[in-house]
Homo-oligomer: A and B are copies of this chain.
Amino acid sequence: MAEAQLDTAQAERKLAYVNAITEGVREVLLEQPDAFVAGEDVAGAGSVFGYYQGLLEQFGPERVIDTPISEKGIMGLGIGAAATGCRPIIDLMFMDFLGECMDEVANQMAKMRYMFGGHAKLPVTVLTMSGAGMSLAAQHSQSLEAWLTHLPGLKVVAPATPYDAKGLIISACRDDNPVFVILNKLSLALEGPVPEGAYEVPIGKANVIREGTNLTIIAFSRMVHEALQAADQLKEHGIDAEVIDLRSLQPLDTDTIVASVKKTHRAMIVHEAVRFGGFGGELAAQIQELAFDYLDAPIGRVGAPFSPVPYSPSLEQSYMPNAKRIVAETRRLIGI
């Protein structure tokens, strides 16, 4: 069912995001004998988030592998094995741990093919968990996609729904390039339709999930749901917002974004990461360049304020972007 154009509406069965991840990985392990999962507590525990549970039993310890707490080693394992014929699925438990293996990611994984003049192929997929909201504080709550999207050689996707989580994992693992699949911890229990069997969600295609006429809200990962809520609320203020779920950050579906903004004349970008220096800057820069004459208002950006993620619920709640802030920021920028 490669490149299936399954209509989400068709899929009757509902599944939680966490289980959609499991299914995606299971499909890959079923179809690709050279694929295996390696990471900290992925086998016996089935990941601390539970999304590999059952895979050890189904595929055995040779294909679902617990590793030491050695992120450089784990990432190196993925790179070396991918360069020599395997298709590793590497689990980086929390995205916050990227710092521990950023050399392997940035200087080896992303660049190897290019530095080698095209004489290497690296079909490695990294699954990692981002996001705040569980009082896990500054070192277990970050959204660091901006580090990755700045790295030629990597692909980066960030599913917002169970459907996309499964489909993007399958696409990522079938891709012959390194792909980061950024998951979101507050979304784990989120339910949505998920077809059985293998299907792909194309990497590089954004999804217009709500049509609208006079504002484009661009979001990804969990912020998509906040954007949808904001769109509902904005209706009361006479704003009919289109919502784009990017799904893929690299490659970026600039065409879909620009076409929408040319139609709506306004854009609001939302991500959970710190606003300053975040991926939203790239989006805003591209939009203003490519749709300059169409813009009726400055492009807005909603992101986290410029601080580490705080622990206390009272602070964390006011730290995280949400529908309310999207609405407020939209109203401020548009002046209504």
Contacts and interface: CB of A to CB of B under 8 A. Distances in A.
Nearest to A145: B277
Contacts of A104: 99
A153 to B, nearest CB: 7
Interface string A115-145: 1000000000000000000000111000010
Nearest to A106: B99
A36 interface: no
A236 interface: no
Contacts of A307: 114, 152
A94 to B, nearest CB: 10
A219 interface: no
Nearest to A72: B100
Nearest to A280: B285
A297 B250 CA distance: 27
Interface residues of A, number: 55
Contacts of A111: 138-139, 308
A129 to B, nearest CB: 15
A249 to B, nearest CB: 9
Interface string A277-316: 1111111110011101001011111000011101000000
Contact of A110 (B105, B300, B308, B333): B308
Query: What copy number does this chain have within its complex?
Result: 2
Contact of A99 (B103, B146, B301): B103
A101 B102 CA distance: 8
Contacts of A181: none
A132 to B, nearest CB: 13
A191 to B, nearest CB: 33
A325 to B, nearest CB: 15
A121 B102 CA distance: 26
A150 interface: yes
B301 A289 contact: yes
A288 B299 contact: yes
A147 interface: yes
B308 A298 contact: no
Contacts of A290: 298
Given A99-B107, A292-B297, A278 B150 contact: yes
Given A138-B114, A288-B288, A299-B288, A274 B152 contact: yes
A295 B291 CA distance: 13
A306 B137 contact: no
A98 interface: yes
Interface of A: 96-107, 110-111, 114-115, 137-139, 144, 146-147, 149-153, 250, 273-274, 276-285, 288-290, 292, 295, 297-301, 306-308, 310, 333
